[in-house]
Structures are given as structure tokens and as C-alpha cells.
Amino acid sequence: MPRNRWLALALVVVLVGLAVSGCGKSGTANKEGKVLNIGWYAKFSSLDPAVHASRWDAMPDASIYEPLIYEVEPGNFKPGLAEGWTVNKEMTEITIKLKKGLKLSDGTPINTDLMIGNFDRIKDPKTASLQVRNLETVKDYAKVDDLTFKVTFKNPYNRIINHFTGTWASPNSLNAIKAKGTEYTMNPVAYGPYTVQSPWPDENTLVLLKNKEYKAPDFLAPPTYDKIVFKIIPEETSRIVALEKGEVDMIFQPPNIEVPRLEKSADFQIMRYLSGGLPQGYMPNVTRSPTNEKNVRLAMIYALNREELSQLAFFGVNPAANSALASGNVAFWADSKTEYKYDPEKAKKLLDEAGWIVNPKTGIREKNGKTLKIRLVTTAGKNHEVAVTQWRAVGFDAILESMAYEATVKRMADNEYEVARLGLSGTDPGVLWSAFHSSQITGGSRFNRTKIADQNLDQMLDKGRNEAMPAEDRKQLYIDAQKYIMSNGWWIPSHEDTYVWAINKKKVTGFKFDANGNPLLILTKPVTTK
């Protein structure tokens, strides 16, 4: 799951967006200083943003990594590691000057050579970085002086400054990478408000310690906490019990069924954020049968009762999606709500027209001696169970093959699936490029799991990415792209991501979200703590 301009601003908790005192049990002060305890929902897969692309792992990343540039609000950029930058009028070159005297937590100077080495690492095929997509559009990067480097893009790029606001471009210690080997993934060495306590206390406890050498930019307050503890509590009920017992101060993703109760509570507060990027949905593989057939793909859209899925799987917390962009996106195609409504009879008609006829003995459709078999390869989830059940209802031999995320990545690479799940965070409609551009089938993020290579679509996505144009024209371009994608059945919307935090409002104050739903760490002045 990819980065974007806001991912470097994740976790309010990290610097100033929250205020809580105590450690161990919340509100109990001791020699460890001010501690924030967070009930986290799953094990982290990587804390190295130069390699991974998970939006969830990105949340603690911003506690550990300072971005080159902050985008504190759309179009408002502030210095991070960079002291300043200049962009040529063609928007093909950006020259970035680094601040003087900064060092990684192992003492490595932050300079041009370190930045060049980190870019080389991302590009190296041996690294297998999912962030290589951020350098695929780059023609060259070169040293100007010890603290200045220039990046040249292959084409004009209207988001050239935004490109460097993510933590993917924050430098890692190349010496530590060599020394730690595979252990580096969970024990990175970088520059930011916090460092990772290494070794971990145990596999279910990530501890971040205040970096005493960190100098907050002038628009940020200094780190609020001496220690931030992520307690990994995979079971939903256990997370909420930990919150209500005071063992943690806040939890991510409480049980959906408990959200209405907590919203009415005097002690707790629910904070929601509806993601504005590519909603959660399914990508039918056009290189395999039967999803290489347009009618089959369209039938899958009409056979999916997204409103029912939202209720059955999420108790309505995650609303139904309708298009290839979420409803909160500036370029959301509003008419998609009526164009692709649930219509199982239309789904059946499309399959009939394509020659897929129901076998009365099995209820499964067949053609030329083959069943209408589709395998949905993804992680486990009630929503996926609902989806395959609804597809079966119109005659699909639909199978859910759920597994760990790492295993799904291999299945995608091996092209062993007919349907895959995807959802991408972001606020800019350009997120469609990562999901549907032909360059992303085998290169870059490899998020084009539909494997569609369509010249017309590529041209639209390239134009929106590379050409400067009035905002309304760009919006219409992406609305047209959504229409084109949906009309070909290249995307099957499911539901819209809602990030939900439950917090102890007597212990935690100042909670806000950034534009991507990460808890916001940017404030213009310090907050008071209880």
C-alpha cells in the first residue's frame, strides 16, 4: 500500500497531537517520564519506509523518520530535513538543499552522499523495494555539493514538490543496514523525533524512545512523550478490554460493533476518518480466464451488494464504495452511485449473454466444459466471505483463498489468481496511476493487479500526473478515467476505508487527523498535558 504526500505526517501521538501522562497503567507517573500506550491491531511487517508500502506500518514510521519536506496542508510546504528547494519552470527538476549538522541516530551525517546512497538502495533490484515506483519517473539524481542534490524527472511533473513529502525518501543508515541484515527491517536507524528501542522487549511490543538529538522544525512542537509503546493486541475484544481497564490510552480499530456504544460513553471518544484514495475493492485479472471476459467482470460488479457487505462485515462503519475513487476524493464520480447499483438480475443476464449457462445440478455456470471459477486471493476478512457468497448466488464457482499478506504478494507475482484485493490511501486522484497504469503491472509498486495495459487509460493517467492544468479540468479528467475503468469492469468497488481510533478522553487530548487519516503530529504550538 503506497505512500503519498501525507504519510510522512503520521501519528499525532508522536510529537504533539495528543497529550497523556503516566506509564504502565495510564496516569501513573514514574521515572520513565511521560508514556503513551497504544493498543495496536496487528504485527508490523516492516518499519523501513524505503522498502515497504503498507499504510499501517507507515503510521509509526513518521515517529522515526523526518521527511525531506512537510506538506502541512494542501499546497503549503514546510522544511523537514531540507532547508529549502527550488523547482525549474518546466517542473522537471527540483534542487534540494539539506539542513546542516543533522545526523542519524548512529551518528551518520545527513548529507548528499547519504541521500544518493539511499536512492541507489531503493533502485537496486536486490532490495526488492516497493517504493521503487517513486524513482521510475526520475531520469537522474546527482550531487551538487555536500548538502545539495538535484533530481531530474523524465517528464514534467505537477506534483514534483509533493513527491518528496513522504518518508520513503527519508534516509536510512547504510552502515546499520549492512550490520543488521534482515533484522534492520524492524530496527531501523534514522533521524526523527523517536528511535526504535532495540532489541524489542518482545515480538508484540514496539517501544519508541524520544530522540534527544532531534531538533523539531520551528512550526512543530518538540516531542511530547519520553516513550511511546505500541502493544500489539490482534484480538478486537482484547484491545477494547485493555482500553477500558486503563492498560492502554488509545486503540486503533476497535470492534465495529462497539463503536456506537463508545461514541455515547462519558469516558471514551471515537475518532473516524474516511479515506479519500482508492477505496477497498477487487481487481479482476484480465490475463486469466474467466476474468479476461468483460461481461464476467461487469457481472461481478452488479452481483456484489455493497450496502449489505458494509452491514454484515462492518456494521456500517465502513460504508459502501461505488467507484475507483472514494467519495471523499475531490474527483469522485458521483453518478457512480446509481450507475453501478446492486442488480443480480443484470449480472445473470450478462453471464447468459457471454455463454455461461447454469448447470441445474450444481448451480454453477459452465461454458465449453469449464466452470465459472474465480479465486479471490487476499487476507482473511468477513467482507471477503460476503463477496464470494454473493458471487456464488449468481452462478460463480467463487473461492476465497485467504492467507498472510506476504503470501498474497507472491501469488500476485506468480499470477496465480483471478481476483485480488486492493485499497490505496491518498487524497489526490492521481492514486489511480499506481493502481491502473501499465507500468505498474511488473514494475514499481506492482499494484496494477488487474494487469490492464490500455493505451487510452495510460494516456489519461499520464496527463493527470504530468501536465499542469486548471483544477476543474484535472478533476474532469479523473472522472472520465473512472467512467472508463468502471465501464470495462476493471475495478469492483467494495467499501470505503474508515480509520477508527478509540481514545480515553480523560487521558488523551488534542487528537486530530491529517489529510490521509493518520493521527496528525503537526501543531503550530505545544499542547498542554494532563
**pLDDT tens digits, residue range 2-47?**
333 333 343 433 333 444 433 444 444 456 788 999 999 999 989 9
Mean pLDDT of the chain: 89
Contact 207, 228 (CB under 8 A): yes
Type and span of the H or E element at 300: helix 294-303
pLDDT the model gives residue 366: 98
Ramachandran quadrant class, 288 (left: phi over 0; alpha: psi -120 to 50; beta: rest): beta
Strand order of the β-sheet with 365-367 is 357-358, 365-367, 370-371
The CATH number of 278-495 is: 3.10.105.10
pLDDT the model gives residue 256: 93
Q: What are the sequence ranges of the domains in the chain? A: 7-271+499-504, 278-495
pLDDT the model gives residue 518: 65
pLDDT the model gives residue 529: 35
pLDDT the model gives residue 196: 97
> What pTM did the predictor assign?
0.78
Strand partners, 358: 365
Contact 510, 527 (CB under 8 A): yes
What is the mean pLDDT of each successive set of 10 residues along the chain, which is 530 residues long? 37 40 43 87 93 81 91 84 96 97 98 98 94 91 98 90 92 98 96 95 96 90 87 96 96 94 94 90 98 98 98 95 94 95 98 98 97 97 97 98 91 96 88 95 89 98 86 95 98 94 87 66 35
Buried b (16+ CB within 10 A) or exposed e, 135-170: bebeeebeeeeebbbbbebeeebebbbbbbbbbbbb
What is the sign, positive or negative, of the torsion defined by CA atoms of 202, 62, 96, 277?
positive
pLDDT the model gives residue 336: 96
Fold topology of 7-271+499-504 = D-Maltodextrin-Binding Protein; domain 2 (3.40.190)
pLDDT the model gives residue 188: 97
**pLDDT tens digits, residue range 196-251?**
999 999 999 999 999 999 999 988 878 888 999 999 999 999 999 999 999 999 99
pLDDT the model gives residue 428: 85
pLDDT the model gives residue 524: 32
pLDDT the model gives residue 515: 61
Beta-sheet pairing, 365-367 with 357-358: antiparallel
User: What residues contact 341, with CB distance under 8 A and at least 6 apart?
Assistant: 302
pLDDT the model gives residue 501: 93
Report which residue type is found at 282: Y
Rounded CA separation 475/329 (Å): 10
Is the fold of 7-271+499-504 the same as that of 278-495?
no
pLDDT the model gives residue 508: 82
